[in-house]
Amino acid sequence: LVTGAGGSIGAELCRQVVQFKPAKLILLDASEENLYRIQMELHHELNFLNYLPILTQLQNYSLVEKIFQQHKPSLVLHAAAYKHVPLIETNPWEAITNNVLTSKNLIEIAIRYDVSRFVLVSTDKAVRPTNVMGASKRLTELIMIAHSQAKMSTSFMAVRFGNVLGSSGSVIPLFKNQIARGGPVTVT
């Protein structure tokens, strides 16, 4: 199961996972366009047909729990998150709701349904965070660590990505645009 499956990082995770020929790949995303795009790529370009696209927000706790109950995923790759620092700075409660509370619920559902491995896609901004987005991801990591210390069958791990070139959050297109307009180039 991949959350944020249609995003730039989630979609790449899907591309990598299909190489291992999983029995089923569950794609969760809140963006209809992004979910459709990765569905079509899996189907028509990668010839992988064992997928189930589910258009939902992870805040829909009862539906997410039903998905786990019905499909019993063994691996969760949790890439869904708000990642744009300036937007999160002006909408901090959304970072808490989406990045922290939703991830906490997903972790608890994964434990309840005996998911073997849970991988949290985090950010380099979670290291000594200086902004709301980094703090929200660090808090999510700490919640995951707290759950992982209980004796259970689910293994938890996190991976921190920096500015992923070509991702929807990449700063490179902004820099190119600023340079094309003659500057200045803004660095936060």
pLDDT in tens, the chain (188 residues): 999 999 999 999 999 999 999 999 999 999 999 999 999 999 999 999 999 999 999 999 999 999 999 999 999 999 999 988 889 999 999 999 999 999 999 999 999 999 999 999 999 999 999 999 999 999 999 999 999 988 778 999 999 987 666 665 667 777 888 899 998 888 76
Is 66 catalytic? The answer is no
160 by DSSP, 3-state: which? Answer: strand
- From 160, 171, 158, 170, select the one nearest 126 (Cα to Cα): 160
Per-residue pLDDT, 13: 96
Given the residues 125, 137, 151, 176, select the one marked as catalytic. Answer: 125
Question: What pLDDT does residue 176 have?
Answer: 84
Other CB atoms within a 10 A radius of the CB of residue 33 amount to 8
In sequence order, the 6+-apart residues with CB closer than 8 A to the CB of 9 are 79, 121, 161, 164, 167
Q: What is the pLDDT of residue 166?
A: 61
Strand-pair category, 51-55 with 25-29: parallel
Starting at the edge strand that comes first in sequence, how are the strands of the sheet with 25-29 ordered? 51-55, 25-29, 2-3, 75-78, 117-123, 155-161
Whole-number pLDDT of residue 172: 74
CA distance 8 to 121: 12
